[in-house]
Chain A
């Protein structure tokens, strides 16, 4: 995928130093050197400055040269392409009727490269066997999405799992085909606003478990409380440094009433603590 997205000069410069499977993030900033994240550390390539054409190439290839097809997503600050590559976009905003309509003159891109890490849920076996509402917590970039993807794969072989994937990176779907391995009982709602999906798909798809990434805002918290009341289990992730951040936060503290498990990630893919009903288990 990256060989298509990137210009030859950048691709060769980066992958002469590192293997594609080891890289987690790639940053392109116009006029600045390319940098990439590998093993949790950023590396910069001063001999490889990024040009406006390099950025244009990435956007062109990521959108299939069809900006109109993903403009809503661009207005939310990202594009998703291929097997769940999420490209954050930064540039000049264009407003229309008081809301961000699109982003032009893009100056920076943050390409996040998804990884399937089979077995990364080993520490969650107890949760997967005695399921209950689960919240995976960590600062950005520590593998919450990867872990949720693995939970979806494991659980969907036994339960009807509905993945609400608003940004198309949890279980990427291309032309109706899921791009990562899942169980036989997995349904994916991609690119549908989560609030809409919570309200409609719980009734129409009748899932046993809902899996969703990056809970954000009071409205979504309210939806999760509603879903839990309906008897559907929720596996979700949330940006926070630790469990105390959630208990003390006015917006997110209601989640503590319905969540049974809290999984805290301390480093990339590493579970630092698991709480069961507020009690630390591991």
Chain B
């Protein structure tokens, strides 16, 4: 009986670790997908309606969830309060799913938003969108390979451990 319980616990541990790794890659993938989506949305909104950033950001976030949406909601609040120093952006983009280099790039994109005329702004957004393509694809691929693999491996190892324990 005890062996069965230990086997079950081991299975749960391995499977949970696998799920955790998969979730990590999924959240990274989602974050960059939403980041790219946001840049697309801004290009349309600024190009056509010239909607101010806070309004545009609020609209984009409506009905969406995720780590990047949390970042955007913080950004919206910062816009409304006029807190837009480098340190504020640094804090805003502190996330385990964004590494240092990407954080620097995103920081400069956010810092530059709204400071120029619409033509220059659209050009800057186009460049930022092009730069977002690489991490978006990279993390999608990472999720499809490493993330899924880690989950499967976790389940298999869990079953193996359960058998061994039994």
Contact = CB atoms under 8 A, between A and B. Distances in A.
B84 A64 contact: no
B69 to A, nearest CB: 19
A65 B114 contact: yes
Contacts of B114: 63-68
Nearest to B121: A68
Contacts of B117: 67-68, 71, 101-102
B118 A71 contact: yes
A66 B82 CA distance: 12
The number of chain A residues touching the other chain, given as a range, is: 10 to 19
B79 A64 contact: yes
B82 A68 contact: no
A60 B115 CA distance: 8
Given A63-B114, A102-B117, A69 B52 contact: yes
Interface string B30-64: 00000000000000001000111111000000000
Contacts of B53: 64-66
A65 B118 CA distance: 13
Interface string B136-155: 00000000000000000000
B50 A69 contact: yes
B116 to A, nearest CB: 6
A158 interface: no
B135 to A, nearest CB: 26
A66 B45 CA distance: 12
A64 B55 CA distance: 9
Given A71-B118, A102-B117, A65 B55 contact: no
Interface of B: 46, 50-55, 79, 82, 84, 113-118, 120-121
Interface of A: 4, 57, 60-61, 63-69, 71, 101-102, 175
Given A67-B114, A68-B116, 11 more contacts: A60-B82, A61-B82, A63-B114, A64-B52, A64-B55, A64-B114, A66-B50, A66-B52, A67-B116, A69-B51, A175-B55
19 contacts: A57-B82, A61-B82, A63-B52, A64-B53, A64-B54, A64-B55, A64-B79, A65-B52, A65-B53, A65-B114, A66-B52, A66-B53, A67-B114, A67-B115, A68-B46, A69-B51, A69-B52, A69-B118, A101-B117
